[in-house]
Amino acid sequence: MSRGRNGGSGVRRWTLLALFAALVLTLAAVAAGCGGDDEASTTDTGAASSDTGGSGGGEAIKIGHLSNCEGPFAPFYENTVAGSMIPLIRRGGEAAGSKPSDGVTGATVAGHPIELVFGCSDATPDKAAEEARRLVEQEKVDILIGPLSGSEGIAVAEYSKSQPDVTFVNGTSGAQDTTLKVQSPNFFRWNTDGAQWMAGLGDYAYNELGWRNVVTLADDYDFPYTQVAGFVAEFCSLGGNVEKRIWPPLGEEDYSSYIQQIPETNLDGFFLGVGGTGTLAFVKGYEELGRGNLADKIIAGSVAIDPVVLKEIGPRMEGVVSGSPVDAQSTDELYTSYIEDFTAAYPDVPGPESLFAVNNFDAMEATLQSLEQVDGDISDGGAKLREAMSGLTLEAPNGTITLDENRNAVGSNYLVEVAKLDSGDLGLKTLKAIPEVDQTFGGAFSADTPTPDRKNPACVKGDPPPWAG
């Protein structure tokens, strides 16, 4: 099955991971971030448990946090955890160490101390489901936040159906099926999905760049399928053509054979949906083959231009345009205060503006606000909590977010360009905001449309979404 494939040999993947993590400043010891210290005890899985030690008189509420401290997205581990810790720090918690995965101490919600248990996955659905089971069935968490990656999200959402008294809140995973098809009543996603993150990009390629014939090249699993689906649905609805879809396995190190499949003639450009450690490997391979300036030929998926990745890739991606659920140039007080709090708590962790950090912040903040609405009472198996969460409107650092009937986020999307900022650093310049993008993507997707995969959706001219044209 294509879903959840890692691809490449383990040796090659970890060789690249070691190089990438070493170059991404404080994430070099990311795997060590899963371990415990004086403040956190570790289990046999390497995941840490942290008691916040709050002074509230209520019964402790146990929250599990599941992200990737192994595999191709391990360099984002501390970044994702940091996002989730900020709402707890704002509620009386203190960082227990320099690493976010050290946990926090002293946080309370509605008089209830918060106990944290950390889980570690590796971007594969089997590992994510295994860790979700451990956190729920052995650690007895009341709420589980996570996972990170697309195929993982589908697996955890399916598992959530067997645990109706536990509330599951997505971390950052963006595969479409997680909510649109699985529809678990106790699984909530406060981030928009990967197709929603592409809102505006097909229109930009067609109408601003004048592209008519493209190729897509993206990792071979559920999240990139969803990102490509959003781009294809929009670009093709306007009259564009997708000549070929190329699918290297997740975690690939040598992209030369895949790059050589991209035609050098009769092609306007290509969509790059390679993420994690693969982005650096792709860029190196593209340069080695002498294919020229990346920005002249590509638009990109959201993870390929993530600020954490840009710190290493640098000017080689300058000028590339993508879509993102985060406006990194926002001057809104909710965004600027979030950046300030993140930087103050974890000065050595890069990328507070990363979608991984912001989405995890939103997940934890929505959870805590919902707990506050029910005074921390989850004695009914969390039924009142889930009812409160279903009706919540979240004023988040990245805008106003509501949930649809499948408990998936409806929120703004941003067309962004990799550019040199006033500070001199490379970052994301916002070109356009598209408000209230829902999961149907202007009617292109529903529970009855084919699941995004290597061939779906088909490239068909039709009615563009309302923001395009």
Residue 7 confidence (pLDDT): 37
First vs last C-alpha separation in the chain: 37
Amino acid at 147: P
Residue 49 confidence (pLDDT): 54
User: Low-confidence residues of the chain, pLDDT below 70?
Assistant: 1-57
E strand residue ranges, 170-240? 187-188, 213-218
> Phi/psi of residue 67, each to 5°?
-145, -170
Residue 50 confidence (pLDDT): 56
Residue 28 confidence (pLDDT): 37
Tell me if residue 462 falls in helix, strand or coil. coil
| DSSP state, residue 454 | S
Count of alpha carbons within 13 angstroms of residue 225, beta-carbon side: 24
pTM of the model: 0.89
Strand partners, 118: 65
User: Could you give the C-alpha distances from 240 to 198, 201, 207, 450, 452, in angstroms and in order?
Assistant: 15, 12, 10, 20, 19
Give the residue among 13, 5, 223, 11 at the shortest CA–CA distance from 124. Answer: 5
Residue 57 confidence (pLDDT): 63
> Helices then strands (H, E): number in the chain?
13, 19
For the stretch 428-439, pLDDT in tens is 999 999 999 999
Q: Please report the domains of the chain, with CATH numbers, ordered by start residue.
A: 10-192+330-411 (3.40.50.2300), 196-329+413-437 (3.40.50.2300)
The radius of gyration of the chain's CA atoms, rounded to the nearest angstrom, is 21
CB 80 within 8 A of CB 101: no
- What is the distance between the alpha carbons of residues 351 and 317, in angstroms, rounded to a whole number? 17
For the stretch 35-77, pLDDT in tens is 333 334 333 344 455 554 444 568 999 999 999 999 999 999 9
Strand partners, 168: 144, 187
